[in-house]
A and B are shown apart, each in its own frame.
Chain A
Amino acid sequence: GNSVTQMEGPVTLSEEAFLTINCTYTATGYPSLFWYVQYPGEGLQLLLKATKADDKGSNKGFEATYRKETTSFHLEKGSVQVSDSAVYFCAAGGGADGLTFGKGTHLIIQP
Chain B
Amino acid sequence: NAGVMQNPRHLVRRRGQEARLRCSPMKGHSHVYWYRQLPEEGLKFMVYLQKENIIDESGMPKERFSAEFPKEGPSILRIQQVVRGDSAAYFCASSPDRNQPQHFGDGTRLSIL
Contacts and interface: CB of A to CB of B under 8 A. Distances in A.
> Is the pairing of A and B real?
yes
Interface of A: 4, 34, 36, 41-46, 49, 89, 94-104
Contact of A36 (B6, B40, B104): B104
Interface stretch (B14-22, B64-72, B74-82, B94-102): B94-102
Contact of B55 (A41, A44, A96, A103): A96
Contact of B43 (A45, A46, A89, A97): A89
Contact of B101 (A34, A42, A96, A104): A34
B106 A101 contact: no
A101 B103 contact: no
- Chain B, interface size: which category? 20 to 34
Q: Which 8 A-B pairs have the closest CB atoms?
A: A98-B45, A101-B42, A43-B104, A44-B104, A43-B106, A103-B42, A95-B98, A101-B43
B40 A94 contact: no
A99 B43 CA distance: 9
Contacts of B42: 4, 89, 101-104
